[in-house]
Structure 1
Amino acid sequence: MIASYVVKLLMLIEVLMSGARLHVDALSMGYYDMSCPIAEPIVRDVVDQALRQDPTLAAGLLRMHFHDCFIQGCDGSVLIDSTRDSTAEKDSPANLSLRGYEIIDQAKQMIEDQCPGVVSCADILALAARDAVFFSGGPFYDIPQGRMDGSRSKIEDTINLPAPTLNTTALIKMFGQHGFNIEELVVLSGAHTLGAARCSSFKHRLSNFDSTHDVDPNLDSNFAKSMSRTCSQGDNTPMPLDPTRNSFDNAYFNALQRRMGLLFSDQSLFADPQTRRFVNAFAMNQAMFFFNFQQAMVKMGLLDVKEGDEGEIRLDCRKVN
């Protein structure tokens, strides 16, 4: 028990000293222990029940948290609905496939009934993503809480989300701007062990790829044929990102080794020597992947968080107060 707490403490210290743009003065473990102790259990139960009915929602919640944190920081801005005067982040083409908003809404309503005006939507989303990983077979990790909700949600800001067509050089630069090193880029990409992608995100790899190749040369030929069969059913047809789409494991990295990464950005991690060694390490050692993933997720959850007057506690996650 003591050893477990020591490990968690050392992990948090490493995160706080990592040099990323973190604002954590107001965040702490057990932030709601006195003001709303039922917050975490409510989120956990809501996520558990939702995933029992539809396991594919785990990928949606994890991706939603990532897309929230990379735009304006982890402030729940991705949850805000568009209005007549403003198109919000969630209506960006990059976010149209996000799923699980109703899970956040349900948890928020249940928490508001017990602790009105206390728990932020940003914290609920961070907890839901954490629990989605756990209920899919991944590691459980503590996260500091106390994020405030932001009020800005603009479609134009989503240009800063990494596209599935980026190469490793572009990914390293983009993640580096958020304070992540190359190993953290690879381990966070491992979130693609959950979920699926639509054909429109990878069909460019299957024909007229570049001036010398019709099909992406980094693709396994049989896997390319399988992708083509999927795309023959239309651009919106989904295909799993790895063979175990609802299980959080290291199968994603094993797939990259076999040149069966669905997205160009994923397979580029194995094609580039800078990132390949981390792909190989996580493919060989799932425990290492889990440990590094939980560290990187704690770090990501601290990006540009709002504190005090910088934010609010939204009463409805879909609109500012």
Structure 2
Amino acid sequence: MKNEKRVQMHTELYNRNVRIFEKEHRGTCTKCNKKIADGETIHLGYDKQYELAYVCDNCSKNLATIIVRHLYKKELYIKPNNKAKLWRFMDLAKYISLIQSKSLFFARADTFEDPFECAKGYKNLEYKWNACYAGFCWGAITSLENLPDIKKTYSEKEALTEANRLLKQLKDLSRKERQNTFICCWHENEFESEAMWKLYSNNSSQGVAIQTTYERLYMALDKDPDIDIGKINYIDFENHLCGVNGSFWYKRKSFEHEKEVRAVVKLFPKKELVQSVMKPINLDVLIENIYVSPTSPKWFRDLVIDINIKYGVEKEVFHSTLDKEPFY
């Protein structure tokens, strides 16, 4: 009965506003400010003043109505600071698409150039991943014998067959995850990056960058609770394998210069796979500053200004500071 209570949910009360509140306070009790540890029970609901609360076990007595109760699991990514500067470098065509559609482009994970997008690790180390999760599946199968409602006893051969079936299912789901995960990439940096200008604008003399912050991006997406925004964790795949979930928050150390922050959304198309999705964005909230590339001529900045006027973007356009002349 205790475990049943820990996963209960009143779905009719679990609306968008409640989900936003849960996401914004995740990991910290709103009553005592205690940090929630992995495996602890959290309680989300309304207190006796009918205000939303996200609380630990000790503070759960303050709740008059419980909406969700479950075991807490730490996020797989680190959220940037609210004022962390984020940059998106692009060519003129992509910039026009952004302001014309008032939408952010999210690419499907398996369409990225990097073949390691959502990878668990190097192919030659796959046997280690298989061994780890085969053992996990074996443990899950054999533990069923101890559950009073199931009363199922597996022979060693049956348990092995079932464990291998579950392992295959895990791997199939992992591959499908690449088709259901959509990503919008940003560069976190206090300043401009010459490398990013060269990498992400097809013609470096006609590149455009928008600068925002984490807080602005979150607000511009209307606090969409289905979108996660977090930092990439750069790892050495020789010594690290990704788990079943969240491998899209990891990249190889060789990409560390990108300082990537990504917005991630999962969608499950009912019919045909889609290459990308567009998420509505409030441009006025999103854009803090606009820059044109350091090698761009004056006419290009003037063109961007004219395009902004046409689409009602009332933001100043700066020439990149990287073009400033030195003295010796």
Q: TM-score, normalised by structure 2?
A: 0.19
Higher relative contact order (CA 8 A, sep 6+): 1
The higher radius of gyration belongs to: 2
**Structure with the higher fraction of residues in helix conformation:** 1
**Structure with the higher fraction of residues in strand conformation:** 2
Q: TM-score, normalised by structure 1?
A: 0.19
